[in-house]
Amino acid sequence: MEDSQTENQLDESRDVQELGEDPQAKDELSKGPGPVSRRSFVLGVGGIAVLGGLGGLRFVPHGSLVRPPGGQDEDRVIAACFRCERCYEICPRGVIAPAHIEDGILAMRTPTFDFSNDYCDWCQESKGGEPLCVKACPTLALELPAGATPENTILGKAVLNTDWCLAYRLIGCRYCYDACPYEAMGLDSTGRPYVIDDKCNGCGACESVCVSLKNGSIALGATERAIVIRPLDAVQGGESPHA
Amino acid sequence: MLKNNAARLRLIIPLLVLVIVSVGFVLNSGTGTLSALGWGDIVLLCPLGALGTMLAAKLLIPQALISLGIAVVLIVVLGPAFCAWICPVPLVQKIRGIFGEPKNKGREGQQIAIAESSSGGEVVEAEVIAAPATVVKAGEELSDKEKASLKGCASGCDACASKREKLDSRHFILGGTLLSAAIFGFPVFCLVCPIGLTFATTLLVIRLFSGGDVTIALLVVPILLIVEVVVFRKWCSRLCPLSAFMSLISKVNRTFKPQVDTAKCIENSQGTKCGLCAQACEELIDPRHPERGAREMNECTRCRACVDVCPGNALSIPILPKKDKRLEGAPPLQNNDAGV
Ligand code: SF4
Ligand code: SF4
Ligand code: SF4
Ligand code: SF4
Ligand code: SF4
Ligand code: SF4
């Protein structure tokens, strides 16, 4: 304990020493006590410049993300989310995850989904359908418009990759079809599941149960599950999500 | 009683906060991090987060306004006590102790550091006044130039006091934090806030072990944190906008301030030099002679280091200042207290 105390004092004296190294700053001061020393001014302006540079990130486009309920207005999330982590902490199903730096520096640590183990049921099971994440967000970054329901709030869309799906490789599988709570999946004549886009709200149930990466015969080159939830604009943009 | 405990508590409490947040995260209890601590609807937001998001979203957020009010009241009553007792940054800065350069360990290091500061300068003077005991010890090692600067200071301590900055770099950063949020439309500072990064690191580690979530952020976040507060040691006193916010509001603070019972101070009772309290103060305050310290009382974090170090037990942190004890050399009469 004492050691650390001494150390702290040391830091201060080192601190002092560094301050004293700038004879010009001293001159500046002795000319007349201004409200701010030159060193403070330089450090302060430097800090503001760094903040300005970081602020410029606003204009760097980042890929869209699947957001928890109430996070569908992307500008609102970016403006109001201060990365307090309350939403991901409170989610009873543990499906909210911090966005990674790979999703863009600006988006880093804002809430997105991780459907690897579970899906978003709008807190049906634990809260009777009142999303806890929305309730927990103190800055209204997550806020649902009046009359929002799981059916009319589109978090994203499920996209099925037929190259990687077991059913399309003639290994019988329909876990995703069975899991979908919104009847947004159908089976074709040969029993292969497909997504009914109009009905899918991106809840993630299908992704959370997909076994394509667990099965013995993983498709060559498969980097993620055969069915994944994509942000709405990524799907509507018409690009192949697996491109 | 509190003597050894205060320093220990100041380590234990932030550690406990980290543990509670981690446990809360694992159990989905919704306690939140220090950015927004609370249960259910009662949440105390970081005042900068509250201001920043409201400016960025151009929106009055009720929860943020309420928190801001509570935070201001707490700061008016307690000053920047958050810094000494709750903030995890000093804890993170302990990492420095692990990799610390051995030559700076112990008292010798301190003397070297002081002797090395031979180029003179305003704060050197301040430190010299604040720590006469140290100067005597390091006396032989002073260069002529330094002696000259010491003599210059003999002209009076008011000169030093008037050289104190009204605003420092932290206040610039505070301004930049609020301005950038308003201009760019997102809470820019929150991206790099070391308090936020500390919790982000904790959370990323938990996610790594619980879900195998591997991301570059696992490297970037802690590195950024370490660069900010460990490599750049003076984060708290030079850059932290939260500290700037608290120091501004603390200007009206009147409660829980360290106070010296001048009669008990050994400078009076034994007529010897002391100044240990000023030496102990990490905020460069001189509790015995507040006008001499490099910084003013509104920066006092209530760390109790001065109280604990005082050989005469002259210092205390009373709820309200006791006026009569300020009288220089007043005898410690019982009825002094009763008289008011
Ligand atoms: S609504 Fe509930 S289950 Fe869905 S993300 Fe929010 S907290 Fe999690
Ligand atoms: S609770 Fe709100 S402010 Fe906090 S991290 Fe989640 S979305 Fe952002
Ligand atoms: S298809 Fe998948 S994401 Fe869409 S509603 Fe069904 S389970 Fe949810
Ligand atoms: S669970 Fe996965 S592998 Fe099985 S049918 Fe659905 S998408 Fe294909
Ligand atoms: S004046 Fe005393 S209590 Fe206040 S910061 Fe300095 S050492 Fe700590
Ligand atoms: S440490 Fe105590 S005795 Fe020494 S100068 Fe400060 S108040 Fe006086």
- Check if B207 contacts A (Cβ < 8 Å): yes
In eight-state DSSP terms, residue B157 is H
Q: Identify the helix (H) or strand (E) that includes residue B36.
A: strand B36-39
Tens digits of per-residue pLDDT, B222-250?
888 988 888 888 888 889 999 999 999 99
Residue A190 has pLDDT above 70, yes or no: yes
Cα(B284)–Cα(A116) distance, integer angstroms: 52
Do B18 and B146 belong together in one domain?
A: no
Same domain, B9 and B126: no
Question: Domain end: B216, B235, B250, which one?
Answer: B250
Residue A121 Cα to ligand 1 midpoint, Å, equals 6
Domain assignment present for residue B293? The answer is no
Q: Do B136 and B223 sit in the same domain of this protein? A: no
How much is the average pLDDT of A183-205? 93
Q: Whose CA is nearest to atom 7 of ligand 3?
A: A180
Instruction: Report d(CA A4, CA B94) in Å as an integer.
Output: 8
Give the per-residue pLDDT at B290. 86
- Which ligand has the nearest atom to the CA of B289? 6
- Do A85 and B199 meet the contact criterion of CB atoms below 8 Å apart? yes
Residues B92 and B135 in one domain: no
Judged by average pLDDT, the poorest of A113-117, B5-9, B26-30, B267-271 is: B26-30
Same domain? B77 vs B181: yes
The average confidence (pLDDT) of chain B is 75
* Chain A, nearest residue to B244 by Cα: A44
Q: CA nearest B31: which of B203, B225, B222?
A: B203
Residues B20/B11, Cβ–Cβ less than 8 Å: no
Gap from B190 CA to chain A (nearest CA, Å)? 6
Pairing label, strands B315-316, B259-260: antiparallel
Q: How far is B75 from chain A (nearest CA, A)?
A: 21
Q: In this structure, are B236 and B195 located in the same domain?
A: yes
Above 90 in pLDDT, residue B335?
A: no
Distance from CA of A213 to the nearest CA of B (A): 15
| Least-confidence region, from A83-92, A193-202, B24-33, B146-155 | B146-155
Q: What is the pLDDT of residue B301?
A: 92
Q: H helices within chain B, ranges in order?
A: 2-27, 47-57, 62-78, 81-85, 89-93, 95-99, 106-116, 122-130, 132-138, 144-153, 157-163, 169-184, 194-211, 217-226, 241-249, 266-269, 276-280, 305-309, 334-338
**pLDDT for the residue numbered B99:** 61
Last residue of one domain, picked from the residues B217, B250, B283: B250
Q: Residue B269 domain-assigned?
A: no
Query: Does ligand 1 come within 6 angstroms of the Cβ of A121?
Result: yes
- When pLDDT is cut at 50, 70 and 90, the band that residue B215 belongs to is confident
Q: How many domains does chain B have?
A: 2
CA of A142 to the centre of ligand 2 (A): 7
Pick the CATH number of A154-243 from 3.30.70.20, 3.40.50.280, 3.40.50.720, 3.40.640.10: 3.30.70.20
Specify whether the CB–CB gap between A99 and B213 falls below 8 A: no
Residue A238 has pLDDT above 60, yes or no: no
pLDDT digits (tens, 9 = 90+) for B26-57: 776 666 666 666 655 667 788 999 999 999 98
Beta-carbon contacts of A205 under 8 Å, excluding residues fewer than 6 positions away, are A119, A121, A176, A179, A180, A181
Model confidence band, residue B206 (pLDDT cutoffs 50, 70, 90): confident
Q: Is residue B203 part of a domain?
A: yes
The pLDDT tens digits of the residues spanning B72-95 come to 999 999 999 999 888 888 888 887
- Tokens linked to B320: 């309200």
Same domain, B192 and B244: yes
Asked if B25 and A11 come within 8 Å (Cβ–Cβ), the reply is no
Answer for the pair B282, A8: CB distance below 8 angstroms, yes or no. Answer: yes
DSSP state of A184: -
> Is B57 part of any domain?
yes
Of B169, B230, B248, the residue nearest A50 (C-alpha): B169
Residue B240 shares a structural domain with residue B190: yes
Identify whether residues B133 and B72 lie together within a single domain: no
Tell how far the Cα of B87 is from the centroid of ligand 1, in angstroms. 30
Asked if residue A52 lies in contact with residue B180, where contact means CB atoms within 8 angstroms, the answer is yes
The residue-averaged pLDDT of B289-298 equals: 86
Query: Rounded CA gap, A195 and A200, in Å?
Result: 7
- Asked if residues A172 and A191 have their Cβ atoms less than 8 Å apart, the reply is yes
What dihedral angle (degrees, nearest 10) is formed by the CA atoms of A10, B239, B66, B197? -80
In terms of average pLDDT, the best of A21-30, A197-206, B115-124 is A197-206
Query: What's the residue count for chain B?
Result: 340
pLDDT at B58 over 60: yes
Q: Which of B8, B169, B189 is opposite residue A43, by nearest beta carbon?
A: B169
> Which ligand has the nearest atom to the CA of A199?
3
The domain limits of chain A are: 2-59, 65-153, 154-243
- In this prediction, residue A2 carries a pLDDT of 41
Tokens of B68: 């801001």
Question: Is A229 in a helix, a strand, or coil?
Answer: strand
Any domain includes B322: no
Are the CB atoms for A50 and B188 separated by under 8 Å? no
At A34, the pLDDT band (50, 70, 90 cuts) reads: low
Q: How many CB pairs under 8 A join A and B?
A: 266
Contact map slice: B 162-181 vs A, CB within 8 A: 162-173, 175-177, 179-180
Fold of A65-153: Alpha-Beta Plaits (3.30.70)
Per-residue pLDDT tens for A46-104?
A: 888 888 888 888 887 777 899 999 999 988 999 899 888 888 888 889 899 988 888 88
Q: Of B42, B43, A135, give the one whose Cα is nearest residue B34.
A: B43
Most A CBs within 10 Å, among B59, B123, B199, to test the A interface: B123
d(CA B36, CA B50): 9
Tell me if B311 is assigned to some domain: no
pLDDT, chain A, mean:
80
Q: What is the distance of C-alpha A114 from the center of its chain?
A: 9
Is B282 inside any structural domain? no
Higher pLDDT, residue B254 or A236: B254
Q: Which domain holds residue B148?
A: 111-162
Cβ B100–A8 below 8 Å, yes or no? no
Same domain, B124 and B153: yes
Task: Tell me, yes or no, if the two domains A65-153 and A154-243 fold the same way.
Answer: yes
Nearest Cα residue to atom 5 of ligand 6: B275
Q: Is residue B158 part of a domain?
A: yes
In terms of residues, how long is chain A? 243
B19 & B57 share domain: yes
Question: Lowest-pLDDT range, A124-128, B13-17, B284-288?
Answer: A124-128
CA atoms within a 13 Å half-sphere pointing along the CA-CB vector of B25:
26
Distance CA A115, CA A104 (A): 20
ipTM of the complex: 0.73
User: Quick one: B157 and B176 in the same domain?
Assistant: no
Q: Strand pairing partners for A159?
A: A228
